[in-house]
Structure 1
Amino acid sequence: MKKYQAEPYKIKAVETITMTTQKEREEYIKKAGYNTFLLESSQVYIDLLTDSGTTAMSDKQWACMMLGDEAYAGSINFMHLQETVREYYGFKHIVPTHQGRGAENLLSSICIKPGDYVPGNMYFTTTRAHQELNGATFRDIIIDEAHNAQLDVPFKGNIDLKKLQALIDEVGPERIPYVCLAVTVNLAGGQPVSMANMRAVKELCSKYGIKVMYDATRCVENAFFIQEQEEGYANTPVRAILKEMMSYADGCTMSGKKDCLVNIGGFLCMNDDELYQKATELVVLYEGMPSYGGLAGRDMEAMAQGIKESVNDAYISHRIAQCRYLGDKLIEAGVPVVRPIGGHAVFLDARAFLPHIAQEEFPAQMLAAQLYIESGVRSMERGIISSGRNKDTGEHNRPKLELVRLTIPRRVYTYAHLDVVAEACIELYKHRNNIKGLKMVYEPKVLRFFTARFEPLS
Structure 2
Amino acid sequence: MTAAYPAEPWRIKMVEPIRTTTRAERESALRAAAYNPCLLRAEDVYIDLFTDSGTNAMSDRQWSAMFRGDESYCGASSFYRLRDTVRAYYGYEHVIPVHQGRGAENILSRCLIRPGHRIPGNMYFTTTRAHQELNGGTFHDVIVDEAHNPADESPFKGNVDITKLTALIREAGADTIPYVCVGAPVNMAGGQPISMECLARVRELTLRHGIKVILDAARAVENAYFVKSREPGWSGRSIAGILRAMCDLTDGATMSAKKDSFANIGGWLGLRDDRLAEQARGLVVLYEGMHTYGGMAGRDMEAVAQGIVESVQEDSIRARIEQVGYLGRRLIDADVPVVRPIGGHAVCLDAHAILPHVPQPLFPAQTLLAELYLHGGIRGVERGIVSAGRDPVTGENRTPALELVRLAIPRRVYTRAHLDAVADAVIALHHARRSIEHGLRFTYEPPHLRFFQARYEQAAIA
Question: Normalised by the size of structure 2, how large is the TM-score?
Answer: 0.99
Measure, in 1, the Cα distance between the counterparts of 2:98 and 2:231.
33
| Alpha-carbon contact 2:4-2:326 (below 8 Å) kept | no
For residues 32-66 of structure 1, what are the alpha-carbon distances to aligned partners after superposition, in whole Å with 9 as ceiling and x for unaligned? 01111100000000000000100100000000110
Distance between the aligned counterparts of 2:415 and 2:108, measured in 1?
Answer: 37
Deviations 1:411-439 (A, max 9, x none): 00011100000000000011101112111
Deviation of 1:2 after TM superposition, in Å, equals: 4.8
For residues 429-458 of structure 1, the C-alpha deviation after alignment (integer angstroms, 9 at most, x for no partner) is 111011121111100001100000001114
Q: Report the secondary structure of 1:457's partner residue.
A: strand
Q: Partners of 1:359 and 1:94 in 2: how far apart?
A: 42
2-side partners of 1:252 and 1:376: how far apart? 36
Distance in structure 2 (CA, Å) of the matches to 1:154 and 1:20? 39
Aligned counterpart, 1:453: 455
442, 445, 460: which one pairs with 1:443? 445
Structure 2: which amino acid aligns with 1:324?
A: G
Query: What secondary structure is seen at the aligned counterpart in 2 of 1:268?
Result: strand
User: Does the residue aligned with 1:373 lie in a helix, a strand or coil?
Assistant: helix
Superposition misfits of 4+ residues, deviation over 6 angstroms: none
Return the offset for 1:3.
2.6
**Distance in structure 2 (CA, Å) of the matches to 1:236 and 1:85:** 20
1:283 alignment counterpart? 284
Rounded to whole Å, the distance in 2 between the matches of 1:415 and 1:225 is 22
CA shift, 1:260, in A, is 1.1
After superposition, give the CA deviation of every residue in 1:251-280 in whole Å (9 maximum; x if it has no partner). Answer: 000000001110000010100000000001
Alpha-carbon distance between aligned partners in 2 of 1:308 and 1:297, rounded to the nearest angstrom: 17
**2:433 pairs with 1:432:** yes
What is the alpha-carbon distance in structure 1 between the residues aligned to residue 110 and residue 186 of structure 2?
A: 23
SS in 2 for 1:371: helix
What per-residue deviation string (whole Å, max 9, x for no partner) do you get for residues 215-252 of structure 1? 11100000000000011111111010000000000000
Structure 2 unaligned residues grouped into runs of 5+: none
1:183 alignment counterpart: 184
**1:181 offset after TM fit, Å?**
0.3
2:94 — aligned with what?
Answer: 93
- 1:206 CA drift (Å): 0.2
Cα distance between partner residues in 2 of 1:4 and 1:153: 23
CA distance in 1, matches of 2:381, 2:252: 30
Alignment-derived partner of residue 200 in structure 1:
201
The answer to whether 1:146 aligns with 2:130 is no
2:238 maps to which residue? 237
Give the aligned residue type for 2:427: I
Q: What is the identity percentage for the equivalent residue pairs of Structure 1 and Structure 2?
A: 58
Task: Give secondary structure in 1 for the equivalent of 2:67.
Answer: helix
Give the equivalent residue in structure 2 for 1:252: 253
The equivalent of 1:405 in structure 2 is: 406
- Give the equivalent residue in structure 2 for 1:314: 315
CA distance in 1, matches of 2:278, 2:243: 26
Letter in 1 for 2:439: G
Q: Give the match for residue 270 of structure 2.
A: 269
**Equivalent-residue separation in structure 2 for 1:382 and 1:32 (angstroms):** 18
C-alpha distance in structure 1 between counterparts of 2:18 and 2:190, whole Å: 28
Alignment pair present for 1:75 and 2:81:
no
> Residues 11-410 of structure 1 correspond to what in structure 2 (within 5 A)?
11-410=12-411
Structure 1 distance, partners of 2:395, 2:184, is 30
Amino acid at match of 2:267: G
Find the aligned partners of 1:69 and 1:240 in 2 and give their Cα distance.
Answer: 30
User: Aligned with 2:281: secondary structure?
Assistant: helix
Rounded to whole Å, the distance in 1 between the matches of 2:253 and 2:269 is 6
Give me the whole-angstrom Cα distance separating, in 2, the residues matched to 1:344 and 1:232.
24
Task: Decide whether the 8 Å contact of 2:153 with 2:340 is kept in 1.
Answer: yes
Secondary structure in structure 1 of the residue aligned to 2:150: coil
Whether the 8 Å contact between 2:116 and 2:136 is mirrored in structure 1 is yes
TM-score norm. by structure 1 comes to 0.99
**Aligned counterparts of 1:277 and 1:457: Cα–Cα separation in 2:** 52
Amino acid at match of 1:355: P
Equivalent-residue separation in structure 2 for 1:47 and 1:373 (angstroms): 13
Secondary structure, aligned partner of 1:422: helix
Q: Unaligned 5+ residue runs, structure 1?
A: none
Matching residue's letter, 1:443: E
Q: What secondary structure does 2:394 align onto? A: coil
Report how far residue 5 of structure 1 moved: 1.7
Q: Structure 2: how far apart are the matches of 1:99 and 1:377?
A: 26
Q: Which amino acid aligns with 2:82?
A: L
RMSD, aligned CA: 0.7
- How far, CA to CA, are the matches of 1:155 and 1:2 in structure 2? 24
Matched residue SS, 1:109 = helix
Cα deviations by residue, 1:356-386 (Å, 9 ceiling, x for unpaired): 0000100100101100011101111000000
Quote the Cα distance in structure 1 between the aligned partners of 2:4 and 2:403.
31
Separation in structure 2 between the aligned mates of residue 5 and residue 120 of structure 1, nearest angstrom: 35
Query: Which whole-Å CA distance do the structure 1 matches of 2:221 and 2:86 have between them?
Result: 13
